[in-house]
Amino acid sequence: MKVITRFAPSPTGHLHLGGARTAIFNWLFTRHYQGKFYLRIEDTDTLRSRQEYTDSILASMNWLGLDWDDEPVYQSQRFDLYNQYVDRLLESGHAYWCSCSPEEVEKMREEARAKGEKPKYNGCCRERGLRPSPGNPEKMVVRLRAPQTGVTVLNDMVKGEVVFNNSELDDMVLRRPDGAPTYNMAVVVDDIEMGMTHVIRGDDHVSNTPKQILIYQALGADLPVFGHVPMILGPDKQKLSKRHGATAVIDYEKEGLLPEALVNYLTLLGWSHGNDEFFTLEQLVKEFANGKLNPSPSAFDPEKLAWLNHEHMKTRTAQDLADLTVPFIKDLGLPVPGNLTALVEMLRERAPTLKDLAAAMTFMLVNADELEYDPKALEKVLSPESRQYISALQSRFSELSSFDESSLHEELHGYVEANGLKFKQVGPPLRVALVGALTGPDLCRIMSLLGKEQTLARLTRFQQS
């Protein structure tokens, strides 16, 4: 099947989760069918559009691994093209000039409302055959001569058949008095020009679709296949918005999520493939057409996202995770150690995100005097005896010529046995001395990775506590 799709963000903010999911669906669908996926920046709203948001959206797309074909198209650079299409509609009689002022149109809408009808423009200039006078052209708009009876049918990939009564639709404005195209006009021209075969977008656009279909029909152009995916809801089942917390892709990048995990999770919010949940990007591309786009909305579940992220972290090599964790370590103001990969190996099981991984490393990266003791843990293990055990271990460890895990293990257990002690008398104070807490990875592994000097410094500090 020939497939050409696009993602068409308006650069009025960072890429949010709903937009990202739309981009992902179009991208997966296209890559599955080996078609073309284009990016179109819908920046006709010059007051709200900003270059920094375009840059941020492109950066988030790159981060998610969603590549696009050719250069992005900017609507703000294509007004001439849109006007050529408006002219075509005027020439063919599918559009007409209208000189009604916004106030007059508002009055017509009120009159319709008062009669219990759908508020709309009453078609007053339809048959007037107005032409802009050369001296004063900008006062008029161009409107579509829309059918007033019958129905417009949307055959939606996700929603099935949706029928709109044409009597409810307006003779919509296609060109504003300043010569700028309206939103729906620009979208249709671009989708025709760019050869779109499929338009997958959020169902907040579903009310635009019959209007767009009428423009296609007036232009005699083939319709793309439309697919409107339901909005993402917050955990309270209301439309996901800022009040639910982080909604921008960039926030999740900063939180240390892996892009493939976010792509996997967002795909599951609206698409399913049996009960499967974990998908790599390659698997999603392969399976996308075999799954189902769901017509009912799904709620965003941060815990499930965290779980999926941890699952994806498991599939990355320690070296990969080490590289990805570096910026998070720097953010914490900590030094990046030479043995970072080994630290990742030791701690990765305990950290569901890259940021958590960096945080979990803190105790390994600070100096002995900066290590934070959990006060409760310290209170539990601190006693004249425990100080003595730590002091004895310190002298034993200081004699070691090789500070590797197995030598440390032998030394530690040798000390416990030789003195008729139980490990639970020695292990917890040693752990607090090294970690500052009562939980953590294997003690000998910690010590070998800290190295002799840092280990001994921590044992000294414990005895002075």
Closest to ligand GLU by CB, 156 vs 260, is: 156
Q: Provide the minimum distance between the beta carbon of 140 and ligand GLU in the complex, in angstroms, as a whole number.
A: 27
Measured between alpha carbons, how far is 354 from 149 in angstroms, rounded to an integer? Answer: 58
Closest to ligand GLU by CB, 212 vs 298, is: 212
Enumerate residues 6+ apart whose C-beta is below 8 A from 76.
41, 43, 44, 46, 49
Q: Provide the minimum distance between the beta carbon of 172 and ligand GLU in the complex, in angstroms, as a whole number.
A: 15
242 is catalytic: yes
DSSP per-residue codes, 191-235: HHHTT-SEEEEEGGGTTHHHHHHHHHHHHTPPPPEEEEEPPEEPT
Q: Specify the 3-state DSSP secondary structure of 328.
A: helix
- What is the length of the chain? 465
282: left (phi over 0), alpha (psi -120 to 50) or beta: alpha
Binding site for ligand GLU (CB under 6 A): 8-10, 42, 187, 201, 205
Q: Provide the minimum distance between the beta carbon of 201 and ligand GLU in the complex, in angstroms, as a whole number.
A: 4
Closest to ligand GLU by CB, 205 vs 452, is: 205
Q: Which is catalytic among the residues 118, 139, 239, 242?
A: 242
Closest to ligand GLU by CB, 205 vs 380, is: 205
Specify the amino acid at residue 60: S
Q: Bridge-partner residues for 36, per DSSP?
A: 4
Burial class (CB in 10 A: 0-12, 13-18, 19+), 194: middle
Q: Provide the minimum distance between the beta carbon of 229 and ligand GLU in the complex, in angstroms, as a whole number.
A: 11
Closest to ligand GLU by CB, 42 vs 156, is: 42
Q: Provide the minimum distance between the beta carbon of 341 and ligand GLU in the complex, in angstroms, as a whole number.
A: 41
- Asked whether 441 and 347 are in contact (CB, 8 A), the reply is yes
Measured between alpha carbons, how far is 411 from 396 in angstroms, rounded to an integer? Answer: 7
Please list the active-site residues.
242
